[in-house]
Amino acid sequence: MTTIKQSWAEPYKIKMVELLKMTTPEQRNAALKEAGYNTFLLKSEDVYIDLLTDSGTSAMSDRQWAGMMLGDEAYAGSRNFYHLEQVVQEVYGYKYLIPTHQGRGAENILSKILIKEGDIIPGNMYFTTTRLHQELAGGTFEDIIIDEAHDAENEFPFKGNIDMNKLEALIQKYGAGKIPYVSMATSVNMAGGQPISMQNLKELRALTSKHGIKVIHDMTRVAENAYFIQQKEAGYANKSIKEIVKEINSYTDGATMSAKKDALVNIGGFLAVNDWDVFEEARNMVVVYEGLHTYGGLAGRDMEAMAIGITESVNDDHIRARVGQVIYLGEKMMEYGIPIVLPIGGHGIFVDAKKFLPHISQDQFPAQTLAAEIYLDSGVRTMERGIVSAGRKANGENYYPKLELVRFTIPRRVYTQAHMDVIAESVARVYQRRNEIKGMKMVYEPKYLRFFQALFEKI
C-alpha cells in the first residue's frame, strides 16, 4: 500500500469575510498608469489579491480581537504593557522590553544607542530600514552572509547563515572596538526568507563572545526560521517551535521586532535587550521618538493584541500551515516552469526576474516591470526586490544587487488555496508572453527608500 501524504491545513476556520473588488484589464491598465507603474502606489481597492507584503496584513484571531476590548488606555503603566512584557520574557526570553510603533522605531533607538560615527555593522544581508538607521547613526553596513545567499539557484537549506570567515576578516581589518554588534536576522527577508541554522548561531555566539561584540537579532520572522530548523536541522525534529525560538534568542543579546509579521498584528513592534545599561538608555530615548516607555507609540489594545499574537505565532500547527501555504504556491509555480528562488522561504515566493526577463537589462528594472505585468494580468499585487529597492550608496552610485526579484509575500491566515492557484496561473500566463515584455525607465526618484514612491514609464 502506498502511504497517503498528510497535507498541511489551516488550524482555524473562517468567521468573517472581506469582499474584494474584481477589476477589468482596462481598469487595471488605468490604475497602474496612474500609479507610475509602482505597485506601492496602487490603491488597495484596485487590487484583487494583495501580496505586496506580509507586514501588518495578517488576520487577527477572535482571541486577539477580544483582547482589543481589554485595552487599558492609560498613559502610563497600562496593564497590557505588563502582559506584553511577561509574554516577551516567557516566549522570547529577553529581559527588558521597550514597545515601539513598529520595527523601524526600535531600529532607530537601538542604532542611536549602540553605533558611533565610523563604526562597522556586519550583518547577514541588509534590510532596507535596518541599514538606513545604521547609516543615519554614522555606521557602515558590511554584508557577511554566505555567498550561497546571493545565488538564486543554490539549494543550500540555510542560506541565511553568516560566513564566519567574512566576519573574522572584518574584525581583523577594523578591530573589535569598531564593531559594536553583529546585525543578525532570522528568515533573511532580502534573500527570500532564508533561514539561519542553530549551528551557525552557536558559532556566531562563540566568535562574538571572544571579541566582546554583541549580537542584535532582527527577530521579525523568528518563528518561521524556527520551523525550518525543526524540519531540516539535525537534532531539532522533536523540539517545539517555542523551544527552538527560545534557543535562537539565547545566543543573542537583544532584538528589534516588527510585530506586524510573525506576531500577527496590524501594527506594533519592540526593542528587547538583556543589558540593563542599554535598556536604561532606550527607555529614556523612546520618550523622544515614540512615546512613554510603557506604550511606545501604541494603544493599550495594540499591545494586548500583540501579546496574544506572539503566543499564537509559536504554535506548531500555525507555523506548519503558514509555511505550508507558501510552499504550496512555490511548487505550483515550479510546475509551470517559473524560475523562483530555492529553497522556498518562509514568508513568500521570490521570482527570479533576471531569468524570467533575460532580455531586459538591470538598468531597465526587470523586477519592477514584471510586478507591473502581473498586476495587469490578474490584479495580483507583488513588489520589486532588486535594483530599485537596493537604492544608492552614500556616494550616489546605484547598488547593483545580484538578486533581481519579484516578491509574492503571503499574509498570514488571509488567503485560501484557491487564491494560490489563481496567483500561479497568472504568473504562468505572463511567462508565456515574456518575450513581448519591454523594460521601464525611472522618471521620479525620492531620496530615501526610493522603491516606495518612485515613478516609472514604459520604454
Ligand X SMILES: *Cc1c(COP(=O)(O)O)cnc(C)c1O
Instruction: Rank residues 185 and 226 by Cβ distance to ligand X and give the closer one.
Output: 185
- Least Cβ distance, residue 261 to ligand X (angstroms): 6
Instruction: Rank residues 185 and 430 by Cβ distance to ligand X and give the closer one.
Output: 185
Instruction: Rank residues 226 and 440 by Cβ distance to ligand X and give the closer one.
Output: 226
Q: In the structure grid, which three cell numbers stand for residue 183, read together?
A: 546585525
- Least Cβ distance, residue 122 to ligand X (angstroms): 16
User: Which residues are the active-site residues?
Assistant: 75, 127-128, 218, 261, 385, 451
The answer to whether residues 357 and 341 touch, using CB atoms and an 8 Å cutoff, is: no
Instruction: Rank residues 186 and 200 by Cβ distance to ligand X and give the closer one.
Output: 186
Instruction: Rank residues 67 and 297 by Cβ distance to ligand X and give the closer one.
Output: 297
Instruction: Rank residues 272 and 360 by Cβ distance to ligand X and give the closer one.
Output: 272
- Least Cβ distance, residue 267 to ligand X (angstroms): 8
- Least Cβ distance, residue 380 to ligand X (angstroms): 21
The answer to whether residues 98 and 452 touch, using CB atoms and an 8 Å cutoff, is: no
Instruction: Rank residues 298 and 424 by Cβ distance to ligand X and give the closer one.
Output: 298
- Least Cβ distance, residue 458 to ligand X (angstroms): 30
Buried b or exposed e, range 136-151, using 16+ CB within 10 angstroms: ebebbbbbbbbebbeb
- Least Cβ distance, residue 64 to ligand X (angstroms): 17
- Least Cβ distance, residue 189 to ligand X (angstroms): 4
Q: Give the residues lining the site for ligand X (CB under 6 A).
A: 55, 102-104, 127, 129-130, 185, 189, 218, 220, 258, 260-261, 269
Q: Which residue is nearest to ligand X (CB)?
A: 103
